[in-house]
Amino acid sequence: MPGHLPIVVYPPSPTGGRRVRVDGEILGLAMSVRDVAEFLRRAGMDDITEDDVVLSGMIDWRGGGPDVWTPAAL
């Protein structure tokens, strides 16, 4: 997976899902790791898999890792 593009997955929104940003551009609201992988494929990372998304140290997971998709209870 290319390391030159900054990849950020933001904390879950109040309604669920997480914004995904690559190289400064918001790609969409992901509801799962599968969605993140699809956004990255559409951004040109053709060989990315869901395992790559989970295991990569290149993704900045904010507000929880790849297993967090709903907001924390307040």
- pLDDT at position 73 is 55
- pLDDT at position 4 is 58
Asked whether the predicted pLDDT for residue 48 surpasses 70, the reply is yes
CB 27 within 8 A of CB 20: yes
pLDDT digits (tens, 9 = 90+) for 18-33: 999 999 999 999 999 9
Asked whether the predicted pLDDT for residue 2 surpasses 90, the reply is no
**DSSP codes of every residue in 26-45:** EEEEESSHHHHHHHHHHTT-
Please report how many Cα atoms fall inside a 13 Å half-sphere around the Cα of residue 45, on the Cβ side: 22
pLDDT digits (tens, 9 = 90+) for 52-65: 999 989 999 999 99
Average pLDDT taken over every residue of the chain = 90
Domain locations along the chain: 1-27+44-64
